[in-house]
Structure 1
Amino acid sequence: MLSSSTFGRRAALRAANCRQCLSQPANRRGLAAPASGSFQYESSEAAGVKIASRDFAGPTTTLALVAKAGTRFQTYPGVTEGLEKYAFRTTERRSALRIVREAELLGAELSSYHTRENLILGAKFLRQDLPYFLELFAEIVGSTKYEPHVYDEEIKPLIQMAHKRHIDNTTELAINSAHSLAFHRGLGVPLRPSSATPYTKYVDANSIAEFASAAYSKSNFALVANGTNHGNMAKWAGQFFSSAKNSSAKALESPPSKYQGGEERIAHNSGNTMVLAFPGSSSFTGGSYKPEIQVLASLLGGQSSVKWSSGFSLLANAAAPFPSVKVATKSAIYSDAGLLYVTLEGSAKDVAGAAQETVKTIKAIAGGDIKKDDISKAIAQAKFKELEYGQQLWAGLELTGSGLVQSGKVYQIDETAKKLEAVTEEQVKKVSSVHISPMSKNDANRVMNVGCSDPP
């Protein structure tokens, strides 16, 4: 264990070492890192915990604990968000104040967030401080204090503020509703409830502690890092996580995802958003991965990659006559399913007009009316986005951790990019004709019958 008595000396010695490193010749190699620039993860187990890492050249490390505890797997509405906000608070050994002050002393950044499938705890720090943060994560997993007064005074107000932001955002509401229509349960559970009832009826310190017991069992989470030697990570993870709970009496489970589809209109006084959604692809580590879906998302497009230009993607051209409209296409990937969706935001009149043109374009693509040059551009853009995503420090951390927990596979960005490059024109046309037909449509509009009374 890293005692508090040695903490100050470690910080002082590290500062001295940093000054010494700055005075060394630039051509001296001070960090062990792969020279190939590969994005490949190395994976193994340490003390029963799945771990993965890749060693980038650089002085910092990004560490994530990825738990299969997103809203899809929560036992009661709202407990995932409650557990997220208990991260980095008081444990059996450290107070919340001590955790904050030590992180600041080491110049680190701490974060926590959740998605539909995962709860992610993150830390970004100087790479020599890996042992400290692995020990901290082990304490969070095994000895966080879920005290009622902390929930009432600190956690609940944060949840209420997040809830208010959520219900004021028409895009978030529409995307959540589209997922609900597409999958009903599981992936259809919203990231945040649109009603405050769950926070008053189901969520408290006891229900969050019970959920944490299952979420933080060894079989339910993985550790993933960018910018560290895999041997060091295995050594320290094995030491600090040896006492973590092996399993839970009640495992967190969710039925397999099945696309349903549907249509919904929501009255709202803050803006206008329309979402058109279709069956998508699972992640690379899932059983239904289809790289052509990602190419199709790039083909539809909407957002320009060039400043001061609306771009020349198919949906950008379709929405060009409606200047207030922002259109974007995204392929959301999950462990066993996905959702390809188009989002339109703007004035009620322009959203209604752009929606009509968008559907015409989508129907033309589904009918096979696609130019070869457009497909070539879409493949190149999809590959670029995947590789650019891999260069970001946080990229792949969640997907890799989720893959390790749910299927034992690592999300390898290099391999994904190769599959995208191998997509053919025939594959894109085939997936367009099959996947774009069933449509889940959701509107969140200021006036319900503007752009929504007659489905486009």
Structure 2
Amino acid sequence: MLRLSSLKQSLKTRSFSSAAAGGLKNNVKVVGLESQKPYELGSVSVVLNMGSRFEKPDQAGVAHYLKAFGFRNSKEKTGFRKVREAELQGAMLTSELTRENVIYTVECFKQDIPYFFEMINEMTTKTLFNSWEFEQVNSTVLLESSIAASNPLTVLSEQLHHAIYRTGLGNSLYASPSNSINSSEIVKNYLASRFTAENVAILGSGISTEQLSALVSSSDLSALPKGSSEAPAKSKFHAGSEIHTGSISEFSHYALAFEAPDAATARLLAEFLGSSSGHIKYSSGISPLSKVASEFPGSSVSSFTNSYSDSSIVGILVSSPSAQLRSVLDATVKQVRALADSQISPESFGRAVSCARMYYLNNIAESASGTRAALASTAFSSPCTFSQQLDSASLPTLQAAVKSTFSSKPAAASVGNSMLTPYLDTIL
């Protein structure tokens, strides 16, 4: 595993290169994070810029199905063979879906990366999408959707995104039971509609960018056609929107979200407020939100962020017994509005920067998925990285961000007792 200092430097200076195709440069993006440790685990991922935000009205849920078709039967290898080969070599196969990307990953010993790159290359370019496989894929998709629907925090996140963005980033990650995806051909056509070099990135850990580029250059991925797909509409933050979902529960969850200028600023604002990742064991800390939480035993108040290629949000999550939800929200909003008009001390600024940097580096260093997320988030957007944005932060810029962000009107979503859930206009 890379040390935090070296990982920070790697991500800060790492840029995507393009693999050669037929003597020309195509736009498949390639990046690797190399390590000198001989027995370290490595990974290779194919990132397809085909997440749920790109679905059209008649395709709702298709990205979820595309994720579920990962590592199934392809032209040269059956799904059983892929799984069996991975088991024999101690590798792990995973498929992930975000609002912007579908990510197929193989985690393995780094000396096995070339072997498994061939598997993932063949799977990505030659999946058969057999009609008889659709029933099993459909069962998997509906099971995952059912599990998500039973988790109030997942429902809250889905509803909040829908309230904020409506379409695009507001599209659900999960296919509904009543979706219109009724054949594998629809999934195949969705992949084909965006399967160009500009919408593909190859990520690797335990391998250098140069070595990974050489593998890509001799693969089918290097022959992908150039050409950009239809660009999605720019994301728009709909301030004042709210969605409230009723449930029979004595506990309620309420989220307020504000528009942030970029990912680093969103994280700084979150750490300034007080994040859910406590920095002091057995203590809620000394942040503004922790002071609110300490006034209401049995409730939690914390910040969160979500960042995408063209939008970032910083939010506050309140989880509380339904009977005292309004009181907790009133205190939270009062605290946040007061912060918008107050002066930030150098100590508070330093704490926010240090916590934001540690959150970012620690989450990447501790998990392979964190590394993939950090790299994938910049694959199809601005080359300016989180670290670069964080390094340019200053007390005056944070002060201005606090004032402009927390004096603006938020969006909201909730899951809980609807009769005890306040609307935005009653708490602002």
The answer to which of 78-87 and 320-329 deviates more is 320-329
CA distance in 1, matches of 2:81, 2:32: 28
* Counterpart pick for 1:61 among 26, 42, 58: 42
**Aligned pair partner of 1:444 in 415, 425, 428:** 415
Q: Which residue number corresponds to residue 269 of structure 2?
A: 296
Q: 1:205 to 1:321 in 2, by over 3 A?
A: same
Give yes or no for the alignment of 1:196 onto 2:177. Answer: yes
The answer to whether the 8 A contact 1:278-1:339 is kept is yes
1:3 paired residue number: none
SS at match of 2:419: coil
How far apart are residue 389 of structure 1 and its match? 3.2
Q: Which residue of 1 aligns with 2:324?
A: 350
Distance 2:195 2:72 in 1: 15
CA contact (8 A) 2:257 2:410 kept: yes
| In 2: Cα distance, 1:32 partner to 1:358 partner | 39
Instruction: Please give the secondary structure, in 1, of the residue aligned with 2:90.
Output: coil
Q: What SS does structure 2 have at the residue aligned with 1:382?
A: helix
2:55 to 59, 74, 88: 74
Matches within 5 A, 1:267-346: 267-270=246-249, 271-283=251-263, 291-303=264-276, 304-346=278-320
Secondary structure of the 2:380 match is helix
The total of aligned residue pairs comes to 408
Structure 2 CA distance for partners of 1:268 and 1:56, relative to 1, 3 Å: same
Once the two structures are TM-superposed, the CA of residue 402 in structure 1 deviates from its matched residue by 4.3
In the alignment, which of 96, 102, 124 is matched to residue 107 of structure 2? 124
| 1:360 matched residue in structure 2 | 334
Q: Residue 357 of structure 2 is aligned with which of 383, 395, 401? A: 383
The corresponding residue for 1:229 is 208
C-alpha contact 2:52 2:171 (8 A) present in aligned 1: yes
Cα shift at 1:81: 0.3
Q: How far is the alpha carbon of 1:405 from its aligned partner?
A: 3.0
Q: What is the match of residue 155 of structure 1?
A: 137
Greater shift after overlay, 352-361 or 370-379? Answer: 370-379
Q: Where do 1:175-254 residues align within 5 Å?
A: 175-193=157-175, 195-198=176-179, 201-242=180-221, 244-247=223-226, 251-254=229-232
* Structure 2 equivalent of residue 16 of structure 1: none
SS at match of 2:45: strand
Alignment of 1:124-143 (within 5 A): 124-143=107-126
% identical equivalent positions: 22
Equivalent runs, 1:22-171 vs 2, <5 Å: 38-40=9-11, 41-46=14-19, 47=21, 48=26, 49-58=28-37, 59-75=40-56, 76-152=59-135, 154-171=136-153
SS in 2 for 1:39: helix
- TM-score, normalized by length of structure 2? 0.88
**Does the 8 A contact of 1:120 with 1:398 survive in 2?**
no
In structure 2, the residue matched to 1:260 is 238
Contact between 2:93 and 2:106, CA under 8 Å: does it hold in 1? yes
Once the two structures are TM-superposed, the CA of residue 282 in structure 1 deviates from its matched residue by 3.6
Pair 43,302 (structure 1): closer, same or farther in 2 beyond 3 Å = closer
**Residue by residue, what CA displacement relative to the aligned partner does 1:281-332 show, whole Å, maximum 9, x if unpaired?**
444xxxxxxx333211101114322222122211111011222222221121
Which whole-Å CA distance do the structure 2 matches of 1:68 and 1:181 have between them? 23
Matches of 2:334 and 2:265 in 1, distance apart?
Answer: 21
- Paired letter, 1:60: L
**Runs of at least 5 residues in structure 2 that lack an aligned partner in the other structure:** none
The 10-residue stretch of structure 1 (293-302 or 96-105) with the greater mean CA deviation from structure 2: 293-302
1:122 is displaced (CA, Å) by 1.2
Larger radius of gyration: 1
- Corresponding letter in the other structure for 1:120: I
1:396 deviates by 4.0
Deviation per residue, 1:167-192 (Å, 9 max, x gap): 22222222222222212221111222
Q: By how many angstroms is 1:399 displaced?
A: 3.9
Whether the 8 Å CA contact 1:187–1:257 is kept in 2: the answer is yes
TM-score (norm 1): 0.83
Secondary structure of 1:279's counterpart equals strand
C-alpha deviation, 1:418, in angstroms: 2.0
Shift of 1:238: 1.0
Compared CA separation, residues 160 and 360, structure 1 to 2 (3 A): same
CA distance in 1 between partners of 2:331 and 2:6 (Å) = 46
Write the distance in 2 (CA, Å) between the matches of 1:417 and 1:390: 16
- For the residue of structure 2 that corresponds to 1:305, the secondary structure is coil
Q: In structure 2, the residue corresponding to 1:394 is in which secondary structure?
A: helix
CA 1:36/1:329 → structure 2, altered by over 3 Å: closer, same or farther?
Answer: closer
Name the structure 1 match of 2:401.
431
Deviation at 1:142, TM superposition (A): 1.2
Q: How big is the alpha-carbon RMSD for the aligned residues of Structure 1 and Structure 2?
A: 2.5
- Give the partner amino acid of 1:99: K
Could you tell which deviates more after superposition, 307-316 or 321-330? 321-330
C-alpha distance in 1 between matches for 2:319 and 2:49? 32
Specify every segment of 5 or more residues in structure 1 that has no aligned partner in the other structure, as ranges: 1-30, 284-290
SS in 2 for 1:254: coil
CA deviations 1:265-287 (Å, max 9, x no partner) are: 2211254110001102444xxxx
CA 1:36–1:324 in structure 2 vs 1: closer, same or farther (change >3 Å)? Answer: closer
Q: In structure 2, what is the Cα distance between the partners aligned to 1:322 and 1:97?
A: 53
The letter for the 2-side match of 1:383 is: R
